[in-house]
Structure 1
Amino acid sequence: MAAVHRAAPPAAAADVPAGERGATRVADRVVAKIAARAAREALRGASPQDPTDAHATVTVHRRADRENLGEARLRITVELGYPSDIGGQCRVVRRQVAEQVGVLADMTVAEVVVEVERLHAPLLERGGRERVR
């Protein structure tokens, strides 16, 4: 009967120095998807009757040390209903995006810029758009 060689069990994470453990790096496009989803959820909660769209353009800055793998600076473009509390909706988006990217991507979020790309006026009963001056 042949002898069976078994590899030694892997060392516990605490036994391996932090610099040698490796790291998970989240791709920029994944961070962008997390940010866009968080923005849509924030806007849906702020104004459920208004269809919204959010796009995320993400710039991720990585640090050299292994303890802090990334710092994100995010720019989110949104479409909002009008009239509405635009500043309030932007605050909710900033807060939700920073929180979700921080938790799901394990990144420090240094900045979230929310840009309002378009405002949607409500539809009138006769099917047209209300004109605002």
Structure 2
Amino acid sequence: MVEAGERGATRIADRVVAKIASQAAREALRADAATAPDAALTGAAAARPNAVAAVRGGVARVRVAVELGYPSDIGAQCGAVRRHVVERVGELTGMEVPEVAVMVERLHVPRWEHPEQRAHRGRDRVR
């Protein structure tokens, strides 16, 4: 039997923690979109959150960049991302996550149409 101190340790790479954080941010935004569909992003606009992590001695510090729909409650969405990243990274890695910085890189505003334009949309198509 090998003593605990002699067995070594498992080191989880920064990029692995970053991938977990990115996925957790995406999950949080998906859950938020389910409760507030007006703010949801669809199609190409729904870019995958980008995360960077720095791991030192069982502590992970994470930065996550997101794109959000607007108008929406940006603070609530960022808070949901922060909480979910802390929870998932802690759960999956066993690390303490004292800091998650959420940066909003882009807001996607729905294209505005005049009501007359909406009424005529599709009428001009020819079969």
- Which category of TM-score, normalised to the shorter sequence, fits these structures? 0.7 to 0.9
Residue 125 of structure 2 is matched in structure 1 by none
Q: 1:55 aligns with which of 50, 62, 65?
A: 50
RMSD after superposition: 1.7
TM-score by length of 1: 0.72
Distance 2:3 2:100 in 1: 34
Q: 2:81 aligns with which of 88, 93, 100?
A: 93
1:97 deviates by 0.3
Residue 105 of structure 2 is matched in structure 1 by 117
Within 5 Å, give how 1:29-108 maps onto structure 2: 29-48=15-34, 49=37, 50-51=40-41, 52-53=46-47, 54-62=49-57, 70-108=58-96
| Unaligned stretches of 5+ residues in structure 1 | 1-10, 63-69, 128-133
- Give, as a single letter, the amino acid of the residue that structure 2 aligns with 1:103: E
State the identity %.
59
The structure that has the greater radius of gyration is: 1
TM-score by length of 2: 0.76
Residue 3 of structure 2 is matched in structure 1 by 17
Structure with the largest fraction of helix: 2
- Give, as a single letter, the amino acid of the residue that structure 2 aligns with 1:74: V
Larger RCO (alpha carbons 8 Å, 6+ apart): 2
